[in-house]
A = this chain, B = another copy of it.
Amino acid sequence: MAHTDHLYSELVRLLREAALIGSCGSVLSWDEQTFMPGHGAAFRADQLGLLAGLAHERATSPGIGELLSELERSSDLGDADSDRVVNIREARRSFDRQTKLPRRLVEELSHTTTLSQQAWVSAREDSDFAAFLPWLEKMIGLKREEAAAVGYGDGVPYDALLDDYEPGMTAAEVQRVFTPLRDELVKLVAAIQHSSRRPNLEILSRHYPKTPQIVLAEGASKAIGFDFESGRIDESAHPFCSGFGPGDCRLTTRYNDHHFNSAFFGVLHESGHGIYEQGLPRDSFGTGIGQAASLGIHESQSRLWENFIGRSRSFWQYLFPTARSAFPKALGDVSLDEFCFAINDVRPSLIRVEADEVTYNLHIMLRFEIEQDLVSGKLKPADVPVAWNEKVTQYFGLAVPGDANGCLQDIHWSAGLLGYFPTYALGNMYAAQFYNAAKRDLGNVDDLCSRGDFKPLKAWLNEKIHRHGKRYRASRLVEIVTGESLSHLPLIAHLRGKYSELYGL
């Protein structure tokens, strides 16, 4: 056993070192998006390029491969869910994925991603799909190569891409839950559209000065459990959460003086991600147990706090008096019910990131369908706008006025993030399942929220989900925590219950 211990310690040391280099890159990326002066961009790209190269070099070093092979031959590692076995499993997974890609492909992907994102920025500005098309074609080609290199067993190439973000998940499994979810959502959206009730949205675009917005949002973030001794919130053009490592997690948001939702719900969302990062076991940094289970599980944490808690009436029973004191002019004449209805407005729209809790998932399905067809070769990149616009009409009954508001709206494809979109909707489904389990275990969560007592829920999430890191695959984690496998039903039940009441369905 002493020899195995030694090998394992050495493996952990190498993994930690690679992760530490990666974490230095995270600090530099965060700075790039928050504070870096404009003329620092070219030099920052040099710094980040070097760190990425060093991290890749370490993560794929033959030493790790040899240690893994030796360790995998040991018979006395422990049970399959033990820290050690999980960390070896995850190290193998990551090592294989990174070493299977030929160096030429890694470099071409990196290079193309940079140029393709630049092309996307100006193509979106000009709503000019033709300008982006060559880059999309190139990227799809490279991602198909990546899928072939990584391999996908009996599945489809898309699985290999999806697996990078949602380990163990397949396109077929996503399809199994998306199909009934879509049918139910389309019905729910139609019912809402037929309702005569409409919230007064004007109240959310009144003047909300920035300083009290910061105080309210940071106060809420702290209240739900984001630890400001181990993190902070700054401003950036695109909100994100970056967990540098133990004791340091950075969130960002953006403030709009005439749009209440943007910063407030953005902060709750990122705080959900941040609470997950802060809940990962400190001592396991750099290993599987110290990493989030999957992007879907990560998103479940942000959506749970943003939507299931943050858009609930009970949450605002607690916070509305504070909000009204912070914005006496904007909210002085607004009732709790008017406010809760306004922040839960549902309507078909063109832009994903502005979509409500109900229609959001349809945006995801549309993208999932198109990117599956792109990767399989069934859809040519040149035909994306037509396919996109048809689906928007089919799902939302809307016409797309231009590709900037259609297939050019998201950065993902230009950044090579094929297979990423489904994790957003998976996150919503996981969140609904976790929320039900939390209510089962904790009793009246609404009551706790209305008192502003979020500690039990945060502690439950820490205990049931966060502390395990990647111990269980997402699907198994859901089963262990909720007693049920992945299902669309809890999400649909949540949405149906909540919106039937608001819209009088």
Contact = CB atoms under 8 A, between A and B. Distances in A.
Interface of A: 17, 20-21, 23-24, 27-28, 31, 35-44, 46-47, 50-51, 54, 227-232, 234, 244-248, 285
Contacts of A37: 228-232, 247-248
A39 B232 contact: no
Nearest to A38: B229
Given A24-B28, A24-B51, A40-B247, 11 more contacts: A17-B50, A20-B46, A20-B47, A35-B35, A35-B232, A37-B248, A38-B229, A40-B245, A42-B246, A42-B247, A54-B54
7 contacts: A20-B46, A20-B50, A38-B230, A39-B229, A40-B245, A43-B244, A46-B245
B35 A248 contact: no
Contact of A47 (B27, B40, B46, B231): B27
A285 B47 CA distance: 12
Contacts of A43: 23, 244-248, 285
A141 to B, nearest CB: 32
A42 to B, nearest CB: 7
- Most chain B C-beta atoms within 10 Å of own C-beta, residue among A27, A38, A234: A27
A247 B44 CA distance: 9
B20 A27 contact: no
B39 A230 contact: yes
A193 B40 CA distance: 49
- Most chain B C-beta atoms within 10 Å of own C-beta, residue among A28, A41, A247, A248: A248
Contacts of A246: 42-43
A47 B23 contact: yes
A46 B282 CA distance: 13
A27 to B, nearest CB: 6
A31 B41 contact: no
Contacts of A38: 229-230
A36 B51 CA distance: 20
Nearest to A21: B50
A247 B39 contact: yes
Contacts of A31: 27, 31
A39 B47 CA distance: 26
A231 B37 CA distance: 6
Contacts of A44: 248
Nearest to A31: B27
A234 B228 CA distance: 20
Given A27-B31, A28-B27, A31-B27, A227 B39 contact: yes
Contacts of A51: 24
Given A27-B47, A47-B23, A47-B24, A41 B232 contact: no
A247 B41 contact: yes
Nearest to A53: B17
Contacts of A40: 230, 244-245, 247-248
A483 B229 CA distance: 55
Contacts of A41: 247
Contacts of A230: 37-40
A56 to B, nearest CB: 14
List the 3 shortest-distance A-B pairs measured between CB atoms, nearest first.
Answer: A40-B248, A39-B247, A39-B230
Contacts of A42: 246-247
A228 B51 CA distance: 26
A16 to B, nearest CB: 8
A50 B13 CA distance: 12
A246 to B, nearest CB: 5
A234 B47 CA distance: 22
Nearest to A234: B35
A318 B232 CA distance: 40
Contacts of A23: 43, 47
A37 to B, nearest CB: 5
